[in-house]
Homo-oligomer: A and B are copies of this chain.
Amino acid sequence: MARQIRVVVIFIYLAIFFKVSLARTYSRASIQQEVTNYCLSWRLAVEANNVRAWRTVPMRCLRYVETYMMGGQYEKDLELIMDQVLSYANSIDVAKDGMDAWILDIDDTCISNVLYYKEKRYGCDPFDVAGFKSWATKGQCPAIRPVLRLFNKLINGGFKVILLTGRDNETLGQCTINNVQSQGFVGYERLVMRTAAYKGQSAATYKSEIRRQLVEEGYRIWGNVGDQWSDLQGDFPGNRTFKLPNPMYFVP
């Protein structure tokens, strides 16, 4: 009898213990789930250009953006977009005049700044002009592999690939050329950087102006790939545009 009572008491104790710790785990998980849901909504709204001119990633989304960038989903998103780009590019009849062009942005399109942004809490810290310049000067941004594969396929397909970046030509010209080439971006038609004439202009204005010049030279811009909406909007955006994900920063 005493033994049975002991067993019953142990069972009750265990039941209470598990219930309390389950309830705690559940409540922690549900708060975490709410944050994840919010950050997913935020990221979607950023990518659909509904949230604009944001300065920093919401602090509560730090872990979410870190997991997104480093945990594999970012690459998965890129791969799916690359499939779309290629299926479109393959549908184009490339002429023999060498004027069928694609425009690719550089930062976080061809080469990645995620290692820099890791130190800036994935964009939870505000943009640091000097810090970014010093990082870019090192010329050690790694290639974004799915975009490098696209780059090579476009060139092999007969397109002229024009790299168009808002980086300052005077201070970052050589390190940028070294960086993209050392990462395998070789054989592009042109690498256009911001010269003094365009200083202070928004990316959308500056890039529109460069695209206008390209179109006036006779280039047919079939596609335009960038991680910022300001790469893809304005004049002569190209026949199709592709927005690559970037939940870390916003360029106007």
Contact = CB atoms under 8 A, between A and B. Distances in A.
Interface of A: 37-38, 40-45, 47-52, 72-73, 76-77, 79-81, 84, 240-243, 245
A145 to B, nearest CB: 16
Nearest to A40: B73
Contacts of A72: 37
Contacts of A79: 41
22 contacts: A37-B73, A38-B76, A40-B77, A41-B77, A41-B79, A41-B80, A44-B44, A44-B47, A44-B245, A45-B77, A45-B81, A45-B84, A47-B47, A47-B48, A48-B243, A48-B245, A50-B81, A50-B84, A50-B242, A50-B243, A51-B80, A51-B84
A92 to B, nearest CB: 15
Contacts of A47: 44, 47-48
Determine which residue in A73, A79, A80, A242 has the highest number of CB atoms from chain B within 10 A of its CB, and name it.
A80
A49 B79 CA distance: 15
B80 A49 contact: no
Contacts of A245: 44, 48
Nearest to A245: B44
A73 B45 CA distance: 13
Given A47-B48, A48-B47, A73 B243 contact: no
Contact of A41 (B41, B45, B48, B76): B76
A240 B51 CA distance: 11
A225 to B, nearest CB: 10
A80 B38 contact: yes
A42 B80 contact: yes
A54 to B, nearest CB: 10
